[in-house]
Structure 1
Amino acid sequence: MTRFKLLKSCIVLLVLSGCGNLPTSGPNRTKVMGLQNQQAQVSVPDVAVVDIDERVISALYAAGKGQSLADLATHHSGFADAVGAGDVLEITLWEAAPAVLFGGALNSVGSGSAQMVSLPPQVVDTKGMVSVPFLGNVAVSGKTPARIQQEIVGRLKKMANQPQAMVRVAQNNSSNVTVIRAGRSIRMPLTGHHERVLDAVAAVGGTDSGVQDISVQLTRGNTVRTVALETVTADAAQNVVLRPGDVLTLLSKPLSFTALGALGRNQQVPFSAKGMNLGEAIGAVGGLQDRRSNAEGVFVFRYQPVSALPQGEQDKWLGKGYDLAMDVPTVYRMNLLDPNSLFWLQRFPVKDKDIVYVSNAPVAEIQKFLQFVFSPIISGANSINDLGN
């Protein structure tokens, strides 16, 4: 009995002292959570550690929805028809008989019939003006050809006999969209057809890979939105009308995350531009290992801007001298023992280059150590038995 107690005490001491030296797939839950309190002398960057709850999930989900193009739809349907600086206009004027203003000077037919004169092509200057005989400078920028015609006729009525005018955009240099794709870029003119996002994709020659791997980035002024091309094709609300000056970029960068720790498989996993939630990511690698994983220790490691952190974390980092646009290493922790986590998994977005890590359970570490200690003894006993037989 004394020997048994002594052996038991030795095993306990070995468990307490030796578990930390066992091979493992990564840090345990306590060490990961301790990143936010690590000592300053350790030469690693500061880390933001965020526990996932309903408030955090709502903010992340709303940020993902904020990349939608639907709210960029415009109700001003005439902007593509408006004249702008650099456009070339063709202006033709008529005067009914007897022609008073354009009769003898501009036409050889005679003053007894209607007269027509075509002006030289007029380039809209930077002030939005063109020059018309007898009228001088006429402001045309931001106006449709029909409205310009009305204004010219209105001013000529005081000088000409029943004047008429026709204005046509001969060359559109102001209402264009820049479309960029790997290996090719174009400037697509906008017309009264009111071209949309998918029209621009077709104009540049489509995509050079599968639709599921392409993201569409729309830059409009200071606003930049990125959505999956697959989403645009499936949701008509995302296929918005383009506006002059828009820049549409087709991004074909492959997306992937890395799965590590007590999961079914440790590997890099590609996913489509449409995105993936954390539940799908864990399922894609076979889920958590029942005998090894710590359900309280599901972590997502990523670099992200301070502006994406919860308000309390933002204040802490701003106090350290960071600004909202600076990237910081961030660890999100989800506790799968909380029943609410099954809903949170469906709304937590996985980002490109994320690391999804599940720590080992403490019991798994002890079992691993006991197997490490006793397996040589058991193997030796089996060998002796084999020899005896």
Structure 2
Amino acid sequence: MGNAWARRAALLVCVVGLAACDALPRSGPNKSEIYAGSVQKEGDAFVVAVSDNVTRATAVVPALGFTSDFTSAGVVGSDTIRPGDVLGVSIWENVEEGILTTAGAPASLEEVQVDGSGFIFIPYAGRIKAAGNTPEAIRRIITEKLADQTPDPQVAVRRLAGDGATVSLTGAVGGQGVYPIERPTRTLGAMLARAGGVAVPAEVAVVKIIRGEKRGQVWYQDLFEYPELDIALRNGDRILVEEDTRAFTALGATGTQTRVKFQTQTLSAIEAIAQVGGLNPALADPTGVFVFRNEPADIANAVLGRTDLIGAQRLIYVLDLTEPNGMFMARDFVIRDGDTVYVTEAPYVQWTKVLSALTSTVGAADSLATTAATAGLF
């Protein structure tokens, strides 16, 4: 009788365990529970199977680029002198004892900085307007002013590196700082090269420019693929290089559950799954790959074939990788910033957990019955 009681107790425990199988640990909702929350079943999210039409309607990527204010600007003339520039001036005289030097030996003024008002000072020539002129124009002015005091003076003027026209570079560049706009660095790409290039992967580097009240940004790689985006720089431009901040969240039966940054400009569902280690072969249901997203009304209407939706809508996109074209759909479906990629567990996983729990429970019951019998309790 004691053994019969023990078996009945063990059976009771098994029944209780089976009834409580929904409380077993799992990574998230199953397919049935997700579908139960759809609008079609009085839920608050639209569940949509991914198709070619859905893929086309949702293929939205960040639109980066420059307005015509940036692309139509000409390069800064490297010979135009500005306040803050530094000039090198050399003067020769054709007399044995000149006012500045002797015959054959130049009087060199290695660094003459243009002051805030745009003037420079040359001995015996006085204050000369330099800003707005070219080195050649300044040479002629100095020559004319000295000609009244020394016969046939020979003058050479060259522009040295100065801070008359500069840009600032910050963020993920090799060398942050303030750089002068010179002949080799009059465009964005050349200036970034002067600063040591970008310090983040080129595929996800974003270059932003602030010019007064105007702003623009482009992908770093596009500077090389689209030459028109390699814009001319202007004095005072502020250049910021940042790594792309877009990310998606991976949950469920994947290789890892975490928030993942984009590693390329565009990211497909199949690439997103690969980025987190693929589907967990021991847990994942390849027919239940879901992408949760808040869609703008225009895209939601296009996806659902409607025109009446207003405001952001909750959409759940379903990918079935076991279908003949399932992998192609996953390859073409674009993941966007803020998406949640969720992979459900295969149905048998819960049964495995139930059986494991029941086996453990029955084992515990047998052990309890054995102990009770040994103690003479029944």
Q: TM-score when scaled to structure 1?
A: 0.52
Partner of 2:217: 225
Which segments of 5 or more consecutive residues in structure 1 lack a partner in the other structure? 1-13, 40-46, 98-103, 303-307, 314-318, 321-327, 385-389
The change in CA–CA distance for 1:137 and 1:309 in structure 2 (over 3 A counts) is farther
Is the contact made by 1:281 and 1:350 (CA closer than 8 Å) also made in structure 2? no
Q: 1:334 aligns with which of 317, 320, 341?
A: 317
The change in CA–CA distance for 1:116 and 1:372 in structure 2 (over 3 A counts) is closer
SS across alignment from 1:219: strand
Is the contact made by 2:48 and 2:317 (CA closer than 8 Å) also made in structure 1? no
Is the contact made by 1:299 and 1:331 (CA closer than 8 Å) also made in structure 2? no
The change in CA–CA distance for 1:279 and 1:196 in structure 2 (over 3 A counts) is farther
Partner of 1:57: 58
The change in CA–CA distance for 1:335 and 1:155 in structure 2 (over 3 A counts) is farther
SS across alignment from 1:26: coil
Partner of 1:279: 270
Offset, 1:21: 5.4
Q: Does 1:89 align with 2:87?
A: yes
Partner of 2:250: 259
Which segments of 5 or more consecutive residues in structure 2 lack a partner in the other structure? 1-15, 301-309, 367-378
The change in CA–CA distance for 1:374 and 1:178 in structure 2 (over 3 A counts) is closer
In structure 1, distance between residues paired with 2:205 and 2:355? 53
1:174 maps to amino acid: G
1:286 maps to amino acid: G
Offset, 1:340: 9.7
1:277 maps to amino acid: S
Offset, 1:349: 4.4
Q: How many residues align?
A: 316
Offset, 1:86: 1.6
Q: Please tell me whether Structure 1 or Structure 2 has the larger radius of gyration of its CA atoms.
A: 2
Partner of 1:43: none
Partner of 1:324: none
Report 1:187-226 matches (<5 A). 187-194=178-185, 211=201, 215=205, 217-221=207-211, 222-225=214-217
Report 1:343-362 matches (<5 A). 345-346=331-332, 348-351=334-337, 355-359=340-344
In structure 1, distance between residues paired with 2:101 and 2:26? 99
Offset, 1:357: 1.8
In structure 2, distance between residues paired with 1:184 and 1:341? 44
SS across alignment from 1:281: helix
Report 1:135-154 matches (<5 A). 138=129, 140-141=131-132, 144-146=134-136, 148-149=138-139, 152=141
Offset, 1:298: 1.8
In structure 2, distance between residues paired with 1:216 and 1:175? 24
SS across alignment from 1:259: strand
In structure 1, distance between residues paired with 2:243 and 2:204? 5
In structure 1, distance between residues paired with 2:66 and 2:34? 36
In structure 1, distance between residues paired with 2:37 and 2:94? 87
1:299 maps to amino acid: V
Q: 1:298 aligns with which of 275, 287, 290?
A: 290
Sequence identity (%): 18
SS across alignment from 1:193: helix
Partner of 1:178: 168
Partner of 1:325: none
Offset, 1:172: 0.7
In structure 1, distance between residues paired with 2:148 and 2:46? 75
Offset, 1:203: 5.2
The change in CA–CA distance for 1:371 and 1:93 in structure 2 (over 3 A counts) is closer
